[in-house]
Amino acid sequence: MIYNNISEFAQILTPVKALVGLDLGTKTIGVAVSDHLGCVATPLETIKRTKFTTDAERLIKICRARDVGALILGLPRNMDGSEGPRAQSTRAFARNLSAKISLPLTFWDERLSTVAAEKALLEADTTRKRRSEVIDHVAASYILQGALDRLGYLKTHE
């Protein structure tokens, strides 16, 4: 099921389950995973996109292997907060994925997540080649960490 409101999403989460964060691109999907307490996001891998069925199967495999309770997809809003074609494409991907996987899904504003990831990798003196290999799953971890921080806040302020 898809939740457009993070507060409603927080209420249905299963405790002690990992969450997966996704940074959907046209060529790749960055994947990050949280610990089972939902505190820390860790970059996991970048999936090279092929066709939806293959991509979905890889995500389902990751979710099973990591005992995942829910997914958070980065929603690429425009800087003014509006949604363009990339956001609509992300919403369509979520609809298609929710038909294949029985885990709850929600969205998290991903504005500037790739910029933050790039900055962190530059500060770590990562080579250009290595940055291009890891940027998407590092961006996914920024998306997931932002959502985890918000979910943590909502838990303490119920």
Q: What is the pLDDT of residue 33?
A: 96
Answer yes or no: is pLDDT of 97 > 70: yes
Q: Average pLDDT for residues 95-113, to the nearest whole number? A: 89
Q: What is the pLDDT of residue 118?
A: 67
Give all domains of the chain, ordered by start, each with its CATH number. 2-156 (3.30.420.140)
Task: Find where tokens 């820390």 sit.
Answer: 40
- For the stretch 128-137, pLDDT in tens is 666 565 667 8
Q: What is the pLDDT of residue 113?
A: 62
- Give the β-pairing of 68-75 and 18-24: parallel
Q: What are the φ and ψ backbone dihedral angles of 141, each rounded to 5 degrees?
A: -70, -35
51: confidence class by pLDDT, cuts 50, 70, 90: very high
Compute the radius of gyration of the chain from its Cα atoms.
15
- For the stretch 17-48, pLDDT in tens is 999 999 998 899 999 999 999 899 999 999 99
SS3 state at 143: helix
Answer yes or no: is pLDDT of 144 > 90: yes
Report the percent of the chain where pLDDT is more than 70: 84
Answer yes or no: is pLDDT of 66 > 60: yes
Q: What is the pLDDT of residue 3?
A: 94
Answer yes or no: is pLDDT of 92 > 60: yes
CA distances from 21 to 122, 134, 145 (A): 22, 15, 8
